[in-house]
Structure formats: C-alpha cells, structure tokens
Structure 1
Amino acid sequence: MADYVLRRILALIPVFFFVTVVVFMIVHLVPGDPIDNLVRIGVTPEQKALIAARYGLDQPLYLQYWRWLTLVLQGDFGSAIVLRRPVMDLIRENIGYSLTLGGLALCFSALVGITTGAIAAAWRNTLVDKSIMGVVLLGSTVPAFWLGLLLILLFAVTLGWLPVSGAKHWTALILPVVTVGLGGMALVARVTRVSMMDIGRQDFVTLLHAKGVPAWAVQVRHVLRHALIPVVTLLSLRIGLIVGGSVTVEYVFARPGIGSLLIRALGQRDYPVVQGCLLMLAMAVMIGTLLGDLVQAAMDPRQREESR
C-alpha cells in the first residue's frame, strides 16, 4: 500500500506543473489590464509603464511565469495588485467559508444520494424508483445558480424561513448547501442504484439468499458495501468540483469565500489573486482524485495490483 501511495503522489507532480502553466496562461489571455484599476484618468503612458514595471508586468510572459512559479513553490502566491495585500492572506481569510460550504455539500450529496439510490435499487421498476429517479434527473440538469435563485425566492423571500444571504448565522448555510449538493446527490443516487443492481445479479448474492440470509441484511451488509466502491471514487472527484462549483453559488448568496474572491479579482484583472484562487481550486481537484484512489485501493486490493 505504501508503494501505491508513493506512486500516486509522484504521478501528481507533472500534473501540478502542467496546471500552473494552464492557470498562468489563461489569466494573462483574459482581456484587460490590472493597471487600469490603479491609475486615475489622465495618467500618462510613462506613468503606467512605471507602475507595470513595479509589478513586473512589463517582462516577457515566460519570465513572469518563472517568477510566479518560484514563489508558489515557496508557499507564496505573491501580492494582490489592486488590494495590495499578500494573496495567501486573502485566501486564508476566505478558504474557511468555502471549505465549510463544500464539506457540508459533500456530506449532503453522500448521505442523501446513497440513501435514495439504495431505496430506488431495492424497489426498482416501481413507482418509488421512478419517482426518485425523476427527482434525481431534475436535480442533475438544473443549473446551480438558477436553483439558488429559486430557493431564495421560495424559502427566503416568500416564506421568510431562511436568510437571503450572508454568513452570520448557521441557517445561512442551508440554502447554499442544498444548492451545491443537489447536483452531486443526483449523480451519487444514480451510481448507487446502478451499482447495487449490478452487484445484486452476482452469484454470491444468490448464494446468500439461498442460505436464508434476510433480504435486508443482504442488501445492506453485502450489496451496498460492494456497491460503494464506485461511489467513493465519484465523491472524491466531487471534492474539487464542489469547491469549484461553489464559485457562482457564493456569489448568488453573497457569501465570503474563494468564489467571491475570484469573481471580484476577475473584475479587477488582479492577476496574482486570480492565479492563486484558480490554483487552489485545481489543487482541490487533484487532492480529491488522490484521496479517491487511495480509498478505493484500500477498499479493493485489485486496484493496487492493476496499477503495478
């Protein structure tokens, strides 16, 4: 297992450097200039050139990338051009909100998705199964930002049960968590249902029924346990997607977090902040993938053997 963990970690190193190149180039290909947000109307081109030189924006892109990568490898994302603060401090102030929202949304997706998927598999081809799959299909197709607006209109504006926005009370997390987690819940439910139906057709399940094991015990202790292997992989991939998907949701609900910081920095063309936020989101995807592979390998030894 230790060799497998080491191989998976080493495999992420070239991926990390490729991601840094993509993040850097995407940010610098976006139209706009962060210097325009620092200067006043009527500033001469010479003055703008001096400001650009102060932040190293007058250098060729490969030199700017090398300088930024060197700082990143030292744990320093540079300083924000507009806010004039270390990017790491800005990320540190906002990442807790995003991790809380993403973690709760992931738990919501896992618990509700596995439960509904198991129920649909147990009562497959019945009205219960069709009703659950109908709701799942709806949840997987509705855009998160539009769903968030509908939930605000219903539960905050019309009924007045929950706050519209902000992060001052735990109740402000309910609507964002449901908005972010509903898409993941739909995918988890579908995968759980299909996986349990496939496992239920195998010979060892028939043998358990022949031995007189109660049907509920077969489904919960054996079928569901084996069916969770692809679900764990899916949930691990959802870690980065949930954090990234929280970008628009945080903006809709006016919550602090990496998403709100990223959108604000994009409007200001603040390159260091945008690069730092995108790199953090990409690292969340990579770490989630790594955790999924490790958990799957721990649950299924065949995964470790196939990678050799």
Structure 2
Amino acid sequence: MLGFAIRRILMLAPVFLAASMIIFLMIHMLPGDPIDNLLRIGASPAQRAELTAKYGLDRPLYEQYAFWMGNILQGDFGTAIVQRRPVASLIGQALPYSLALGGLALLMSTLLGVTMGVIAASTKGSWLDQGIMGGVLLGSMLPNFWIGLLLILVFSVGLGWTPVSGARGWESLILPVVTIGLGGTALVARVTRIAMIDVQGKDFVMLLHAKGVHPLVIQLRHVLRHALIPVVTILALRIGWILGGAVTVEVVFARPGLGSLLIKSLNQHDYPVVQAALLILAMAVLLGTLLGDLIQAAMDPRIRDSLK
C-alpha cells in the first residue's frame, strides 16, 4: 500500500506543474493589468513603466513564471499588488470560511445522498424510487446561484428565518450549505443507487438471500459496503469541486471566503492573489483525487494489485 501511495503522489507532480502553467498563462492573457488600479488619472507613461518594472511585469512570461513557481515551492505566495498585503495572509483569512462551508456541504451531500441512494435501490422500480430519482434529477439540473437566490427569497426575505448574507453566526451557514450540498446530494444518490443495483445482481448476494439472511441486513452490511467504492471516489472528487462551486455561492451570499477574494482580485487584476487562489483550488482537486484513489485501493486490494 505504501508503494502505491508513493507512486500516486509522484504522479501528481507533473499534473501540478501543468496546472500551474495553465493558470499563470490564463491570468496573463486577460486584458488589463493591476497597474491600471494603482495609477492615478492622468499618470504619465513613465510612471506606468516604473510600476511595471517594480513588480516585474516587464519581464518575459517564462521568467515571471519561474520566479513565481520558485517562490511557491518555498511556501511564499508573494505580495498582493493592489491590496499590498502578503497573499498568504489574504488566503489564510478567507480559506477557513470556504473550508467550513465546503466541509458541511460535503457532509450533507454524503449523508443525504447515500441515504436516498440506498432507499431508491432497495425499492427499485417503485413509486418511491421514481420520486427520489426525479427529485435528484431536478436538483442536479438547477444551477447553484439560482438555488441560492430562491432560498434567500423564501427563507430570508419571505419567512425571515435566516440571514440574507454575511458570515455572522451558524445561521448564516444554513442556506449556503444547502445550496452547495443539493448538487452533491443528487450525484451521490445516483451513484449509490446504480452501484447498489449492480452489486445486488452478484452471486454472493443471491446466496445470502438463499440462506435466509434478512434483506435489510443484506442491503446495509453487504451490498452497501461493496457499493461504496465508487461512491467514495465521487466524494473525494467532490472536495475540490465543492470549493470551486463555493466561489459563486459565496458571492451570492456575500460571504468573506476564497470565492469572494478571487472575484475581487479578478476585478482588480491582482495577479498574485488570483494565481494563488486558483492554484489552491486546483490542488484541492488533485488532493481529492489522490485521497479517492488511496481510499479506493484500501477498500479493494484488486485495484492496487492491478497497478503494480
């Protein structure tokens, strides 16, 4: 298992470098630059050239990338050009809000999605199965920002049960968590149902039924355990996607998380902050993929044996 983990970690290195290059090039290809937000109206070309040289933006892109990546590998995210604060400080201030939101949304989608998937698979073909899958399909089709606005309209403006926006108190987390968690719930429920139906057709399940084992015990102790392998993979991948999905949701609910910081920095063309935020989101996806592979290999030795 240790050898498998080391190989998977080493395989992430080139993917990480490729992702960092794409992020760097995409940011620098956008029109405008942070100098526009530093210059006063009527500033001379000489003042622009001075600031451009001060922040190293006059260097070739490959030199800027090498300098940036060298600092990243040493744990230095640089200093924000417009906000003039260490990027690590800005990220450290915003990241806990996104992690709290993403963690609770992941927990909600896991518990609710697996439960709905188990119920749907156990009642395959019934009205309950069709109702659950119909609701799941509807939930997966609706965009997060639309769900968020609808929840605000109903529960905040209409009923007054929760705050409209902000991050003061646990009540402000309810609607954002539900907004993000609904999409994950739909995905987890579908995967759980399909995996359980597939396992239900295996020979060992038929043998358990023939031995007179209670159907509920078969579903929860045997079928669900084998069906969780693809579910775990999906949940691990959702770690990165939930943080990414929190970008729009944090803007809708005006939460001071990584998403709000990213949008603000994009508007200001603050390269160091945008690059760091996008790199963290990419790393979350990569680490989620790694975690999913390791858990999947631990649950099914055939997977790691096939990669030896």
Q: Which residue of 1 aligns with 2:197?
A: 197
Structure-to-structure mapping, 1:3-18, within 5 angstroms? 3-18=3-18
Q: Which residue of 2 aligns with 1:74?
A: 74
Tell me, what secondary structure is at the counterpart of 1:83?
A: coil
Tell me, what secondary structure is at the counterpart of 1:164?
A: coil
- C-alpha displacement at 1:85, in angstroms? 0.5
Q: Give me the whole-angstrom Cα distance separating, in 2, the residues matched to 1:73 and 1:26.
A: 20
Tell me, what secondary structure is at the counterpart of 2:77?
A: coil
Task: Give yes or no for the alignment of 1:120 onto 2:116.
Answer: no
- C-alpha displacement at 1:306, in angstroms? 1.1
- C-alpha displacement at 1:12, in angstroms? 0.4
Q: Give me the whole-angstrom Cα distance separating, in 2, the residues matched to 1:258 and 1:280.
A: 10
Q: Give me the whole-angstrom Cα distance separating, in 1, the residues matched to 2:169 and 2:54.
A: 42
Q: Give me the whole-angstrom Cα distance separating, in 2, the residues matched to 1:183 and 1:201.
A: 28
Tell me, what secondary structure is at the counterpart of 2:167?
A: coil
AA in 1 matched with 2:236: S
Q: Give me the whole-angstrom Cα distance separating, in 1, the residues matched to 2:137 and 2:52.
A: 50
Offset from partner CA, 1:174-221 (integer Å, 9 cap, x none): 100010111111000000001100100111000001111000000000
Q: How many residues align?
A: 308
Q: Give me the whole-angstrom Cα distance separating, in 2, the residues matched to 1:128 and 1:162.
A: 31
Question: Which runs of at least 4 in structure 1 moved beyond 2 Å after TM superposition?
Answer: none
- C-alpha displacement at 1:247, in angstroms? 0.2
Q: Which residue of 1 aligns with 2:149?
A: 149
Tell me, what secondary structure is at the counterpart of 1:197?
A: helix
Q: Give me the whole-angstrom Cα distance separating, in 2, the residues matched to 1:222 and 1:73.
A: 45
Structure-to-structure mapping, 1:132-281, within 5 angstroms? 132-281=132-281
Q: Give me the whole-angstrom Cα distance separating, in 2, the residues matched to 1:248 and 1:32.
A: 23
AA in 2 matched with 1:177: V
Q: Give me the whole-angstrom Cα distance separating, in 1, the residues matched to 2:210 and 2:169.
A: 54
- C-alpha displacement at 1:124, in angstroms? 1.0
Q: Which residue of 2 aligns with 1:97?
A: 97
Offset from partner CA, 1:223-257 (integer Å, 9 cap, x none): 01100000000000000000000000000000011
- C-alpha displacement at 1:295, in angstroms? 0.4
Q: Which residue of 1 aligns with 2:46?
A: 46
Cα RMSD (Å) of the superposition?
0.5
AA in 2 matched with 1:103: G
Tell me, what secondary structure is at the counterpart of 1:155?
A: helix
Q: Which residue of 2 aligns with 1:284?
A: 284
Tell me, what secondary structure is at the counterpart of 1:255?
A: coil
Q: Which residue of 2 aligns with 1:293?
A: 293
AA in 2 matched with 1:116: M
AA in 1 matched with 2:9: I
AA in 1 matched with 2:173: L
- C-alpha displacement at 1:92, in angstroms? 0.5
Q: Which residue of 1 aligns with 2:109?
A: 109
Q: Give me the whole-angstrom Cα distance separating, in 2, the residues matched to 1:227 and 1:195.
A: 5
AA in 1 matched with 2:55: Y
Q: Give me the whole-angstrom Cα distance separating, in 2, the residues matched to 1:126 and 1:208.
A: 23
- C-alpha displacement at 1:32, in angstroms? 1.1
AA in 2 matched with 1:215: P
Q: Give me the whole-angstrom Cα distance separating, in 2, the residues matched to 1:218 and 1:60.
A: 63
- C-alpha displacement at 1:33, in angstroms? 1.5
